[in-house]
Amino acid sequence: MVKKIEHIGIAVKNLKQANEVYEKLLGGPPYKIESVESEGVNTSFFQTGESKIELLEASHPNSAIAKFIEKKGEGIHHIAFAVEDIKAEMERLKKEGFKIINEHPIKGADNQWVCFVHPKDTKGVLIELCQKIT
């Protein structure tokens, strides 16, 4: 079951420049900057109340973020929802007819298990499910 919006992912061309903009906008620095090699991204996270903003920069030209920016430009890439049991939620959504992009949860940024729901099934919005790794 979905607990809350965990974060909104924003694709950016230059993480350093985007961090400077969001530091001014949100009044402070990111609490975490990291690379996720498996996804080909460099990320930074800003806390905004109970939710977060994740900035995503491509770490190589063939990554999903590089392709997204090439096609659509910088901007909102995905909305992530926190769930209690990602595997159970994946199965529930499959039974409801949603296409899950990942066969199994993968280790994502910010110490989370993640998977993605195809945007064709969600009115054009890429949905990420997240569960804290314990």
Amino acid at 5: I
Distances (CA, A) of 18 to 23, 63, 77, 98: 8, 19, 14, 33
pLDDT tens for 51-95 read 899 999 999 999 999 999 999 999 999 999 999 999 999 999 999
Q: What is the pTM of this model?
A: 0.93
Percent of residues, the chain, with pLDDT higher than 70: 100
